[in-house]
Amino acid sequence: MYRLITGIAGPSGFGSASTAEQVTQGIDASNLTAIITGGASGIGLETARVLALRNANVIIGARNLEAANEAKQLILKDNNNARVHVLKLDLASLKSVKTFADNFIDLNLPLNILINNAGIMFCPYQLSEDGIEMQFATNHLGHFYLTNLLLDKMKETAKSTGIEGRIVNLSSIAHIHTYEKGIAFDKINEKRSYDDKKAYGQSKLANLLHANELSQRLQAEGVNITVNSVHPGLIMTNLFKYSGVLMKILKFCTSILWKNVPQGAATTCYVALHPSLKGVSGKYFVDCNEFKPSRFARDKVLAKKLWDFSIKLVNAA
């Protein structure tokens, strides 16, 4: 908390005040291709801008193509050498996730970095196209399926180039506020017990568990790909659209704890690009430093159970 408020750097040399440009200063990503989901706004857009600034080839996955093309133009305005492409992706539809992955594979590009960034928060109860509670479907299941569909491409790229692949899941400190058993497997779609805050926390816990389980599986296979999770900090973005007034009041009272968007994208960019994290996998980062997540997030049995559960949901859909 002291470091968050003061911005004093942690062991990594960076802290809550560091920006995405600062943590990637001097890094040449010209031989890297990265996918960023939800890269049309907020933290995802800043991540896309800074990765492109470091010369990475960036693919923005977005459900709103108009917004994504505007985001692309914004990036190009200040950096006309930026390599940015836009592909349609609706994470709340497994069919759309599959089409996105197929379209990406058809581009015949390598894939070094996958940033599972898109998300929604605190929406009223609703079901996705596949009949799954919307926050779990968008934040976790869509990303789970997408990652699995792109994994062979990432493995191929890591093997043929010798460059470590990196997967970054955008989790949140909110992962600590979840249902009683962490993931409510038997009530995942239950309307009666739905709590918009806990459902968000559950989906962010799922992002962490997914990263940890995948990291373990890839390590066991001897694959040169790391998987980590991040909490970007508190940043006023469109994410707060379902809790606007409440959060604006909260922000007013707790302004010292909030970051701007360039600071909000720092941890993602640090984990995706920084050479000091070579070989570091299955970890959780806050303010560009490793952080201990909740007891549920460290539960390997829960992570395995979520993996099997997610596979079943995808197969059923």
Ligand X SMILES: NC(=O)c1ccc[n+]([C@@H]2O[C@H](COP(=O)([O-])OP(=O)(O)OC[C@H]3O[C@@H](n4cnc5c(N)ncnc54)[C@H](OP(=O)(O)O)[C@@H]3O)[C@@H](O)[C@H]2O)c1
Near ligand X by CB under 6 A: residue from 172, 215, 226, 263: 172
| Cα–Cα distance, 210 to 174 (Å, whole number) | 16
Identify which of residues 136 and 164 has a Cβ nearer to ligand X in the complex. Answer: 136
Smallest CA-to-CA distance from 307 within 209, 172, 162 is with: 209
Q: Which residue is closest to ligand X by CB?
A: 42
Helix 300-316 crosses helix 196-221 at what angle (to 10 degrees)? 100
- Distance in Å, CB of 167 to ligand X, minimum: 14
**Considering only residues 173-192, where is the footprint of ligand X by CB under 6 A?**
none
- Looking at the annotation, which residues are catalytic? 194
C-alpha distance across the termini of the chain, in Å:
42
Q: How far apart are CA 87 and CA 99, in angstroms?
A: 10
Residue from 9, 22, 55, 67 in contact with ligand X (CB under 6 A):
67
Contact between 130 and ligand X (CB under 6 A)?
Answer: no
Q: Which of 16, 117, 228, 229 binds ligand X (CB under 6 A)?
A: 117
DSSP letter for 177, please: S
The radius of gyration computed from the CA coordinates of the chain, to the nearest angstrom, equals 18
Residue 84 interacting with ligand X (CB under 6 A): no
Give CA angle at 197 (15, 313), nearest 5°: 100
Q: Which of 175, 231, 274, 283 binds ligand X (CB under 6 A)?
A: 231
Minimum CB separation of residue 264 from ligand X in Å reads 6
- Burial group, residue 24, by CB count within 10 angstroms (0-12, 13-18, 19+): buried
Query: What single-letter amino acid sits at 10?
Result: G
CB nearer to ligand X: pick between 60 and 158: 60
**Region 19-48 residues binding ligand X, contact defined as CB under 6 A:** 37-38, 40-44
The binder of ligand X chosen from 170, 184, 199, 208 (CB under 6 A): 170
Helices (H), the chain: 2-6, 20-23, 42-53, 65-78, 94-106, 134-135, 142-161, 196-221, 244-253, 261-264, 266-273, 300-316
Site string for ligand X, 273-292 (x = CB under 6 A): --------------------
Q: How far is the CB of 104 from ligand X (least distance, A)?
A: 14
Q: How many residues bind ligand X (CB under 6 A)?
A: 30
How far is 287 from 291, CA to CA, in rounded Å?
Answer: 9
Does residue number 119 form part of the binding site for ligand X (CB under 6 A)? yes
Binding site for ligand X (CB under 6 A): 37-38, 40-44, 62-64, 67, 89-92, 117-121, 138, 170, 172, 231-232, 234-235, 237-239
